[in-house]
Amino acid sequence: MTVHTLSNPHLRMRVSSQGACLLGLEDSEGRPLLRETDSTAPWHPGQSALFPMLPLANRVAGNGFELWGEQHRLPESEVDPAFFLHGEGWLYPWQLVALTTSSVTLQLSRRNDPFHYLAEIDYRLHERSLVVRISLTHLGEAPCQYGAGFHPFFWRDEETQVRFLASGVWQEGGDHLPTSWSSALPPWLDFRQWQRPAGWLNHCYGGWQGQAEIDHPARQQRLKISSDGAFLMLYQPDEKCGFVCLEPQSHAANAHHMAGHPGLRLLTRGDRMSIGMTIRYEKEE
């Protein structure tokens, strides 16, 4: 794989051609904002600092869906025997399209029924922000449903706090799939006020405001995440793992089996969808 190292006076990042993954994002003092990855050791995209999710995010029950009365089987995944987990974009090599000292654009073309698409991802550093956008163009003859998202692993310590607004949550159930919708947020899942994420978390929030914050009191540092995605996954294995994931998505987890397919985009040949995310860091005085 090829690793592109990009920087500006405030940030430094490493982007891999394998999976279009981010291997690291640091501030000007060399402190990691996302978890660090050693690309010189045996490595898998799931161990990255950030990877793209496409042509869907998360999991789909039964690894298939129905559209206009016709059943569609999702592709098999090399990383999960039961699900087309986070799609496939993070598992394949991407091609370089454009490169500067502070930005890179990569492209991936895939045909894997029922999907046939051209994907593009653009990473760029702008002042104290990382700005990233995924675009998907459908190339197939028959229409197909698409989605996308970002899976960043934010650095955290025992004092790290999180805050964001959402109107409700689908809590995780069996096979890591969401249960029914609830607008009543349990205290441990209510992040309207600052709270330290605790224990196993793997839940999908809807009605998300598109803004989230991560506060690091020991560093006097705060990260602000913004996205045009309307759904946010919150994930961490436990509070000692060294990271917490706040994952902006274009659609709800398992949206293929929900009424109205919330957030999925039905694309005909030549149609295009995109989703963006910005991570901005600020020093607290």
pLDDT tens digits for 106-139?
A: 999 999 999 999 999 999 999 999 999 999 999 9
Give residue-wise pLDDT tens across range 30-70: 999 999 887 677 778 889 999 999 999 999 999 999 999 99
Q: Which of 19, 4, 24 is nearest to 101 (CA)?
A: 4
Contact 234, 245 (CB under 8 A): yes
Sign of CA dihedral 221, 225, 231, 232: negative
What are the residues whose beta carbons fall under 8 Å from the beta carbon of 164, sequence distance 6 or more? 191, 192, 205, 208, 209, 211, 212, 213, 232, 246
Q: Taking a C-beta distance cutoff of 8 angstroms, is the pair 176, 202 a contact?
A: yes
Tokens at residue 152, please?
């960043």
Whole-model pTM: value is 0.96
In a 3-state reduction of DSSP, which class is residue 113? Answer: coil
Nearest C-alpha neighbor of 149 from the set 76, 235, 55, 78: 55
- By three-state DSSP, how is residue 45 classified? helix
